[in-house]
Amino acid sequence: MHVAKMVIISLVIFVLVTILVTQALQDRIYFSLFAGIPSGVVAFVLSFVYMYRQKSE
């Protein structure tokens, strides 16, 4: 798998996780994006590292 494909897949995961966490916390936290964006970044990094390691095997 090419690096560009891995980045695109990770970017889609970032967007989905950010939206889901933001929507889940919207009623409890006023600035739910402050929790949604970092969780999306963590999901992006973890998914990219996982796919990169699977590529090297």
pLDDT tens for 1-57 read: 689 999 999 999 999 999 999 999 998 888 888 999 999 999 999 999 999 999 877
Query: Could you state, in order of their start, the residue ranges of all structural domains in the chain?
Result: 3-56
The pLDDT of residue 31 is 87
Give the distance, in angstroms, between the CA of residue 20 and the centroid of all CA atoms in the same chain.
10
Rounded to two decimals, what is the model's pTM?
Answer: 0.87
The pLDDT of residue 29 is 85
| Interatomic CA distance for residues 26 and 42, integer angstroms | 20
| Interatomic CA distance for residues 34 and 54, integer angstroms | 31
